[in-house]
Amino acid sequence: MECDKCGSDAVMHAAYSGLHMCEEHFRRSVDSRVRRRIREDALLPESATPDDPETWLVGLSGGKDSVVLTKLLHDTFDADPRVELVAVTIHEGIDGYRDASLEACLELTDDLDIEHEVVSYADEYDLEMDDVAADDPLDMAPCAYCGVFRRDALSRYAEEYGADKLLTGHNLDDEAQTAMMNLLSGDVRQIAKHFDASLGSFEDREVDDDPFVPRAKPLRDIPEKEVALYAHLAELPTHMAECPHASEAYRGEIQQHLHDLEEDHPGTRHSIMSGYEELARLAAEAYRDDADAPQGRCERCGAPTNNATCRKCELVEELGGELPGDD
């Protein structure tokens, strides 16, 4: 196979576009799609200046997605004094898994000279995911606990750090799966929340009244396989092992369906996301006036919530953990 751009040996074929690309044109294509997404989502406001830069916190797990995101953001903004990048890794307390991926995070941030912080469930909640998964007192899947703790840890750290945005490495496959799960649930409010939480342009999203640091996903146009290929070609340090507690069975089913559809009808993921994003924007506008965004604060930890205590504090109590400041 030859590259359709220059005739060199191709390293990939994108069935959805019909293009064959060599390494150089493939990497350029990923770079330009991510930079276009950053522009179209208006991630960098005109108010950002060298004297008053934006601080972007990047969730860095050591997996291919967050590693590629960190590298691309570094390459794009390293010489731009309007953006300061800080990477943060959440350590869940999973033996033999997170320590290995943490090594990849340390190698990358050292190579790129990016500030890197680690936030652990042990320090934040006096809990480790290995113990939570073994006890499972509420008979939930481990990921159901872990997702609540990770969202809280990232959001609280971003708020404490004074970050302007929290960026995560969700790719096109991740987002198409979430879109399908939300559509199949029939929960239109959840679709509206998805838009305001992390989709669309910052010019269209309702982030001013949001008590959480706004999130963005600059890789959301890039298929998972292309992220993996980029990481491989760029020789980035990544940790590919799967978490031993991975348990999102429903997402796995949706993933398989989408994979089969994409094989038979290339471009399915892109078309799902373009239609879904428009639908989600309309849903967000429709619900904006009676938004059920958190109006209060958790009386225990201060996190945004509509209840007396937030879900994370309920889980910490149920699991026998402690929050910083508890006696």
- From residue 79, alpha-carbon distances to 50, 73, 82, 84, 95 in Å are 11, 11, 9, 10, 38
Q: What are phi and psi of 324, to 5 degrees?
A: -55, 130
- Bridge partners (DSSP) of residue 209 are none
Give all strands (DSSP E) within 15-81, no chain letters.
19-21, 54-59
Count CA within 13 A, CB hemisphere, residue 147: 8
Nearer to ligand SF4, 45 or 147 (CB): 147
Give the alpha-carbon dihedral of 128, 68, 23, 27, to 10 degrees. 160
Q: What are phi and psi of 206, to 5 degrees?
A: -90, 80
The residue from 246, 261, 279, 291 that contacts ligand SF4 (CB under 6 A) is: 246
- The DSSP secondary-structure symbol of 95 reads T
Nearer to ligand SF4, 92 or 224 (CB): 92
The stretch among 107-115, 167-175, 194-202, 238-246 that binds ligand SF4 (CB under 6 A) is 238-246
Shortest Å distance, C-beta 242 to ligand SF4:
7
Query: Three-state DSSP class for 211?
Result: coil
Which of positions 71-110 make contact with ligand SF4 (CB under 6 A)? Answer: 92
Shortest Å distance, C-beta 248 to ligand SF4:
7
The interface mask with ligand SF4, positions 19-58, x = CB under 6 A, is ----------------------------------------
The interface mask with ligand SF4, positions 132-161, x = CB under 6 A, is ----------xx--xx--------------
Shortest Å distance, C-beta 75 to ligand SF4:
27
* Cross-sheet strand order for the sheet of 165-167: 115-120, 83-91, 54-59, 165-167, 215-216
The residue from 245, 269, 281, 300 that contacts ligand SF4 (CB under 6 A) is: 245
Shortest Å distance, C-beta 102 to ligand SF4:
13
Shortest Å distance, C-beta 291 to ligand SF4:
27
Q: How many residues bind ligand SF4 (CB under 6 A)?
A: 9
* Nearest-angstrom CA–CA distance, 74 and 237: 15
Nearer to ligand SF4, 130 or 206 (CB): 130
- Give residues in contact with ligand SF4 (CB under 6 A): 92, 129, 142-143, 146-147, 243, 245-246
